[in-house]
Structure 1
């Protein structure tokens, strides 16, 4: 076993194919679209006559989703090679620490969106002891933010898979 490896078991070979990368990108897009559908579904239901309560989704309910989507955009805009670039390829001009700071801000925005969704659900729907059909607005907010976070992780991993064939083409 090589001493530079982190885990004992090697990564399966099927994870390095171009088809796996493409499937991961499509799966991340599907997760993001489901998250957006769940959030829009709850917003439309809150304004419909079937709601039957005084609770409606307003801009406060959308803020966590906006932060999660912004964090996803920031995280997936950073190239993985930039995170360890200070030694050789970028002549030590501080690219790696700048990329790490921006990556941290993206993760902070995404985590803040998820925490904001939980906070909105607790303060707006759980504390006043709202009944179930109306409780869906808060649950949908948390589900949507969790799916955006999961979509970001899947997209990050699938975009940064190392494929020998594509690596040789980039040289």
Structure 2
């Protein structure tokens, strides 16, 4: 008889609990981040070297990418055990553990950076490219690449979060 695992999220399917599945998740997250970074850097290099129009990638375009990358670093530096530390004893998430509360605040700030990166890239796309009627693909593609890059980074963050927090059936906690 299998026991029901308690966690932050209830998924309709059971996640694989092997070290191989964890490493596959990490590789997928790395590939998603690489696709996102490549997409944005491609637009920046195209803007600098081959763009014939008057629109170029400036620091304003870099801000969402930087926010998304910082958000990914912050979110994936938080351990799941820190978030549910006091919930195991009390049965709810309203405990008074200072460590769990601080981890939740930092996690919220990380997700806020990720959301700010995605929404910022959409705002840059709208204000810089769509409002000024740049309909030719190479120029409009710089804004689209910014949005695609930030979305891939956010998706990479979620995949890495899940992959890092999959419990291994042979893992033991040696903390006192």
For residues 43 and 8 of structure 1, do their structure 2 counterparts lie closer, same or farther at Cα, with a shift above 3 Å needed? closer
Shift of 1:56: 0.5
- Specify the alignment match of 1:119 in structure 2: 123
- Specify the alignment match of 1:145 in structure 2: 150
- Specify the alignment match of 2:29 in structure 1: 28
Which runs of 5 or more structure 2 residues have no equivalent in the other structure? Answer: 90-95
Shift of 1:148: 0.3
2:166 to 141, 161, 167: 161
RMSD across aligned positions (CA): 2.4
Q: Which runs of 4+ in 1 moved over 3 A?
A: 1-10
Which runs of 5 or more structure 1 residues have no equivalent in the other structure? Answer: none
- Specify the alignment match of 1:11 in structure 2: 14
Q: Report SS of the residue matched to 1:155.
A: helix
For residues 44 and 82 of structure 1, do their structure 2 counterparts lie closer, same or farther at Cα, with a shift above 3 Å needed? same
Which protein has the bigger helix share? Answer: 1
Q: Report SS of the residue matched to 1:16.
A: coil
User: What's the TM-score, normalizing by structure 1?
Assistant: 0.88
CA contact (8 A) 1:86 1:94 kept: no
User: What's the TM-score, normalizing by structure 2?
Assistant: 0.85
Distance 1:76 1:104 in 2: 12
